[in-house]
Amino acid sequence: MNLLQRVLLSVIALILLSTENVNAQSVLDDYTRMEGDWAISYLEWGYSVINTKGTLKITEQSFVWGKQKYILWETTALKTAKQFKAIDLRIESGKTLKGIYYLSDKEFWLCVNTQGNRPETFATEPHSLNTWLLKLKKIE
């Protein structure tokens, strides 16, 4: 391997490492932005819109919804051109739920499948209670 090839490989490695660091920082920033009080603006479960009101408080990467505590376990940037990221939620029993999320300054959308398959869109499955979609609005 000549000197030019080594330099090019080193530059590529640095670019890849800096991309991973940016993604890691982005995830940490997302956790910080998720914290706070959120109003439930939309809930869909089993392809049905559920008329519900209420709030969620996200603190220290977790929230309680109903009787269940959810831990925002892991988020990663998906390697696609889509505007959402992958997220895994841990529940107290130790089960991991795979999901996707969208986060802006005022909105947080969370779509989760309870049976292991990560959703590919922000929609639930017809005639199935495996997927739920929750849309939240930031309470100022």
Report pLDDT for 91.
85
pLDDT (tens, 9 = 90+) of the chain, 140 residues, equals 555 444 343 344 434 433 343 344 565 688 889 999 999 999 998 778 888 888 989 888 888 888 888 888 777 766 555 678 888 888 888 888 899 999 999 999 999 998 878 888 888 888 788 899 999 999 98
Report pLDDT for 19.
38
User: What one-letter code names the amino acid at 37?
Assistant: D
The answer to whether the CB of 40 falls within 8 A of the CB of 50 is no
pTM of the model: 0.74
Burial of 44: CB neighbours in 10 Å, binned 0-12, 13-18, 19+: middle
The phi, psi pair for 104, rounded to 5°, reads -125, -175
Report pLDDT for 68.
85
Report pLDDT for 106.
94
User: Whose CA is closest to 82, among 23, 122, 42?
Assistant: 122
Q: How far is CA 99 from CA 88, 92, 111, 113, in A?
A: 6, 17, 5, 6
Domains, in order of start, for the chain: 3-138 (2.40.128)
